[in-house]
């Protein structure tokens, strides 16, 4: 069953960001390229299957810092049409924990 979902939007469109419906993982790649799926448009509505995984990535400027830092959230689509946070990671070491969580979810019955 599909539900209509509002895809999270970025804080600052000038900074790198992307949102993707996750359909699989390519273990031979790292970063964004490791995730197979459909690109989604932040701030828009789209229909997704209940249980779908949505990965949100955004780089933002830390307060009193001179560099950007990634903020990554893995969501699951719920029956009520909301996105539930499965896990989130801040910092440049985001990839492994996110990939591990997605792998765990995709392999579970």
Phi, psi angle pair for 107, to nearest 5°? -85, -15
Q: What does the domain layout of the chain look like in residue ranges?
A: 2-107
The residues with which 77 forms a beta bridge, in sequence order, are 83
- The CA-to-CA distance between both ends of the chain, in Å, stands at 18
* Antiparallel, parallel or unpaired: β 53-61 and 2-6: unpaired
pLDDT for residue 77? 98
pLDDT for residue 61? 75
By the 10 Å C-beta count (0-12 exposed, 13-18 middle, 19+ buried), 5 is classed as: buried
Whose tokens are 């209509």? That residue is 4
pLDDT 10s digits, 74-84: 999 999 999 99
pLDDT 10s digits, 8-44: 998 777 788 999 999 999 989 999 999 999 999 999 9
This prediction's pTM = 0.92
């Amino acid at each position: 069953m599909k539900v209509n979902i509002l895809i999270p939007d970025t804080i600052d469109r000038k900074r790198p960001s992307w949102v993707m419906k996750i359909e699989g993982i390519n273990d031979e790649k790292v970063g964004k390229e490791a995730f197979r799926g459909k690109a989604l448009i932040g701030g828009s509505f789209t229909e997704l299957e209940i249980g779908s995984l949505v990965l949100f990535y955004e780089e933002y400027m830390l307060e009193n810092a001179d560099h950007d830092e990634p903020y990554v959230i893995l969501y699951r689509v719920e029956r009520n049409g909301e996105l539930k946070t499965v896990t989130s990671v801040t910092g440049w070491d985001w990839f492994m924990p996110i990939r591990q969580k997605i792998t765990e979810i995709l392999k579970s019955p």
